[in-house]
Copies of this chain bind each other. A is one copy, B any other.
Amino acid sequence: MTFKGMPGLTSPDTGLHSIAEDLAQRFHGVFASETVERYVFESYTALARTAKVSAHLPALTAKFTADRLTALAQSKGLYPHDVPEVLFVCVQNAGRSQMAAALLDHHAAGRVHVRSAGSSPTEVIHPRAVDVMVELGIDLSQEFPKPLTDDVVRAADVVVTMGCGDACPIYPGKRYEDWELDDPADASLEEARRIRDEIDARVRQLLSEVLPQG
């Protein structure tokens, strides 16, 4: 039996086990190897449910799992939490939340750590969102839509939701904001630019509020 889209592998298992071994080494002393293995396999299945391009799935799984384990370690106080953590959540994690995350990351220049996720992630980033971000010199082409997970919510100091209703768990001790924004998915280039600029203004405002005064 061969796995569609993964020539040379009889099943994704081979690649996933090797990812799990690498990550178990990287998180040695932080998480048991069984926890890491579970995270790898469940992250793979969660991405596979929506992703069309299965050829990239192992690489995306490695990236997504590493980030989830880092978030989990932060939320448990096992990893340093030096800068504010901001999480953007929209429905598809393909437009608004990706743009907001990239813009905040850009302006914060290391003073804030940023993540994004979607309540119902799509296969790829909206091309329109990629286009209008390229105009600012920001490259979204390496990003990918990710499902919202508990670990990244727990690691966040600030959660910004955008049109995803009650999809995000509300935990105490965090700042929650809901931003009403148009969806760039079906927008014209002009509209997408306007949405981008509105997100940019809100992101700059948020940055000024979450950074320590001084």
Interface set of A (CB-CB < 8 Å, partner B): 1, 3-5, 10-13, 32, 34-35, 38, 41-42, 44-46, 48-50, 52, 54, 72, 119-120, 147-151, 153-154, 165-172
Residues of B near A3 (CB, < 8 A) are 170
Evaluate contact between B170 and A4: CB separation under 8 angstroms: yes
Evaluate contact between A119 and B50: CB separation under 8 angstroms: yes
| Copies of this chain | 2
**Given A42-B42, A149-B42, A150-B42, are A169 and B48 also a contact pair (CB < 8 Å)?**
yes
Indicate which residue in B13, B44, B45, B166 contacts A54 across the interface (CB closer than 8 Å).
B166
Evaluate contact between A169 and B12: CB separation under 8 angstroms: yes
A211 to chain B, nearest CB (A): 23
Indicate which residue in B35, B50, B148, B172 contacts A45 across the interface (CB closer than 8 Å).
B148
5 contacts between A and B (CB under 8 A): A13-B171, A34-B35, A45-B150, A48-B167, A49-B167
**Given A10-B172, A50-B119, are A41 and B167 also a contact pair (CB < 8 Å)?**
no
Evaluate contact between A170 and B42: CB separation under 8 angstroms: no
The residue in A34, A45, A54 that gathers the most chain B C-beta atoms within 10 A of its C-beta is: A45
Chain B minimum-CB-distance residue to A72: B38
Indicate which residue in B13, B49, B148 contacts A119 across the interface (CB closer than 8 Å).
B49
Residues of B near A4 (CB, < 8 A) are 166, 170
Residues of B near A154 (CB, < 8 A) are 41
A14 to chain B, nearest CB (A): 10
